[in-house]
């Protein structure tokens, strides 16, 4: 993989830049600009090199239809403001656009309207990719969070142009390598979320490399129940007994500690009064919504004795502040260790990142990944088509 940051001769070159500008929109307003903010350095770098930048991105899942609400217009406006640089949004059908037409625009940055307005994008269609490639001189992928998708502007395009990784993609890969291949032990993973079956391959892949895997969130409920406790009306996944058995026996074989909550916070519903409970005290009409104080203490002890930490998935139903204590305590503990420079920390996943955003702590972690699916697939040990295409 060659990084675009090493290039110095881009004067007048047309650079096709694939970004992941798939930010959450609400009535045309961007509600979280993290993904945009993270790629500004790449755009600035290309501007300094006096290249002409042709940005490709999707937002949402329009499935080959032109959907007005999924226009990149609000994103264009946001980048224009942040860079103080005019951007031309090209809404014309992309098949009608030819490379020399791009010289007619004075703007240094051209933004092609939502690339998923074309069905051929998700089909990884060769002719579509060839056409996209024909518009530029080189291709840069700075969309790590889309790189698990074998789509034309992420994958197939690199067959037709000299291709490079972008600055943010470089950072993502080096952070992920630091916690998967060149790890400083002891290494701990905190993994949460609601479905254990969606994370089984990650857990299995990490068991052989990690010292501790702490399972929290709703997927811990399956482990609590597996250990013979009544979990009342807590969220749980059905038919995962063999998955739980697999995790437990494989972790024994590989000498990895699996840790799950020893006490919990329950309520009668999502807005109910929070109560601390031992595992053997949960009533039939109660649901587990957070980890309890003893569990927080144990997790903090483990963090104290670890050198590397990976965190994906909140510890409870943090959307209600009554059940955010576990997640907040974990975040604060990692931040404290980071400040003392005693830990290398990587955090990823939409929910975990929005939690950290709400604590205003994004800068306090060594690396915060903006990727959801791509982050998880990388941790499973899978090859990502967009990354393989650059190699």
Q: Which residues bind Mg ion (CB under 5 A)?
A: 372-373
The residue range among 125-133, 142-150, 307-315, 340-348 that interacts with ligand 3PG, by the rule CB under 6 A, is 142-150
Considering only residues 372, 384, 386, 389, which one is a binding residue for ligand 3PG as defined by CB under 6 A?
A: 372
- 8 Å CB contact between 347 and 365: yes
Q: Nearer Cβ to ligand 3PG, position 79 or 207?
A: 79
Closest to 57 (Cα-Cα) out of 137, 111, 11: 111
| 149 is a site residue for ligand 3PG (CB under 6 A) | yes
Q: What is the CA radius of gyration of the chain?
A: 23
| 377 is a site residue for ligand 3PG (CB under 6 A) | no
Restricting to residues 267-286, name those near ligand 3PG by CB under 6 A.
none
Q: Nearer Cβ to Mg ion, position 41 or 373?
A: 373
- 8 Å CB contact between 390 and 165: yes
List the end-to-end C-alpha distance of the chain, in Å, as a whole number.
Answer: 5
Q: Which residues of 57-94 are buried (b: 16+ CB within 10 A; e: fewer)?
A: bbbeebeeeeeeebbbbbbbebbbeeeeeebbbbeeeb
Residue 232 contact, options Mg ion, ligand 3PG, none, Cβ 5-8 Å cut-off depending on partner type: none
Residue 339 contact, options ligand 3PG, Mg ion, none, Cβ 5-8 Å cut-off depending on partner type: none
CB atoms within 10 A of CB 180: 18
Interface with ligand 3PG (CB under 6 A), residue total: 8
Considering only residues 186, 272, 373, 381, which one is a binding residue for ligand 3PG as defined by CB under 6 A?
A: 373
| 163 is a site residue for ligand 3PG (CB under 6 A) | no
Q: Nearer Cβ to Mg ion, position 313 or 372?
A: 372
Q: Nearer Cβ to ligand 3PG, position 41 or 373?
A: 373
The three-class DSSP label of residue 231 is coil
Spatial distance between the Cα atoms of 88 and 82, rounded to a whole number of angstroms: 15
- 8 Å CB contact between 57 and 20: yes
Residues that bind ligand 3PG (CB under 6 A): 20, 22, 61, 145-146, 149, 372-373
């Amino acid at each position: 993989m060659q990084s675009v940051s090493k290039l110095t001769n881009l004067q007048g070159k047309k650079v096709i830049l694939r970004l992941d500008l798939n930010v959450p929109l609400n009535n045309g307003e961007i509600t979280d600009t993290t993904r945009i903010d993270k790629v500004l350095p790449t755009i600035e770098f290309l501007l300094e090199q006096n290249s002409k930048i042709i940005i490709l991105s999707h937002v949402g899942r329009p499935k080959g239809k032109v959907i007005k609400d999924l226009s990149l217009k609000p994103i264009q406006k946001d980048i224009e403001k942040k860079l103080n640089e005019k951007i031309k949004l090209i809404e014309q059908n992309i098949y009608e656009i030819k490379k020399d037409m791009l010289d007619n625009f004075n703007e240094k940055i051209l933004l092609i309207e939502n690339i998923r307005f074309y069905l051929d994008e998700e089909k990884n269609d060769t002719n579509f990719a060839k056409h996209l490639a024909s518009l530029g001189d080189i291709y840069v992928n700075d969309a790590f969070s889309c790189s698990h998708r074998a789509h034309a502007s992420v994958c197939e395009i690199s067959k037709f142009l000299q291709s490079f990784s972008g600055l943010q993609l470089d950072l993502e890969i080096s952070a992920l390598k630091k916690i998967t291949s060149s790890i400083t032990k002891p290494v701990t993973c905190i993994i949460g979320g609601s479905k254990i079956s969606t994370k089984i391959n990650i857990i299995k892949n990490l068991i052989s490399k990690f010292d501790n895997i702490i399972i929290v969130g709703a997927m811990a409920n399956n482990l609590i129940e597996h250990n013979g406790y009544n979990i009342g009306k807590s969220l749980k996944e059905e038919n995962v007994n063999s998955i739980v058995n697999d995790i437990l026996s494989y972790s024994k074989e590989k000498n990895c500690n699996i840790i799950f909550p020893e006490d919990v916070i329950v309520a009668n519903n999502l807005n109910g009064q929070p109560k601390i409970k031992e595992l053997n005290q949960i009533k039939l009409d109660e649901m587990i919504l957070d980890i309890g104080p003893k569990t927080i203490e144990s997790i903090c002890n483990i963090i104290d004795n670890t050198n590397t930490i990976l965190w994906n998935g909140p510890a409870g139903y943090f959307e209600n502040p009554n059940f955010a204590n576990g997640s907040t305590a974990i975040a604060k503990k990692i931040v404290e260790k980071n400040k003392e420079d005693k830990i290398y920390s990587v955090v990823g996943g939409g929910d975990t990142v929005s939690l950290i955003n709400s604590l205003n702590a994004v800068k306090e972690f060594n690396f915060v990944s903006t990727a959801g699916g791509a982050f998880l697939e990388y941790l499973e040990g899978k090859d990502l088509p967009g990354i393989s295409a650059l190699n």
